[in-house]
Amino acid sequence: MNNAQIADRLEKVERDLEKMKAQMQGSLPKTPTGDELFGMFRNDAIFKDVVKIGAAYRQSLRPRAKRPSRRKK
């Protein structure tokens, strides 16, 4: 391939890329921002239960402190 052929192919690839970008512009879903997500679960009893269960699970993973033995030696 000579330089002219490479330049022609590169131009075609760039045109195709621009077409693809134009097609994709309208089809991308909008990602919600933090402002839209904040307070989403306010006053939701099920979510409160999920939070409690998660906290209990994380607490169960923590190592327990050893109690001193009460036996006299």
User: Residue 28 has what pLDDT?
Assistant: 67
Rounded Cα–Cα distance for residues 24 and 22 (Å): 6
Rounded Cα–Cα distance for residues 9 and 5 (Å): 6
- pTM, rounded to two decimals: 0.43
User: Residue 50 has what pLDDT?
Assistant: 96
Domain-embedded: residue 34: yes
pLDDT by residue for the chain (73 residues), tens only, comes to 799 999 999 999 999 999 988 888 777 677 777 877 888 888 999 999 999 999 999 999 998 888 777 776 6
How many domains are there within the chain?
Answer: 1
Range of the domain at 35: 3-61
Rounded Cα–Cα distance for residues 55 and 37 (Å): 22
Domain-embedded: residue 18: yes
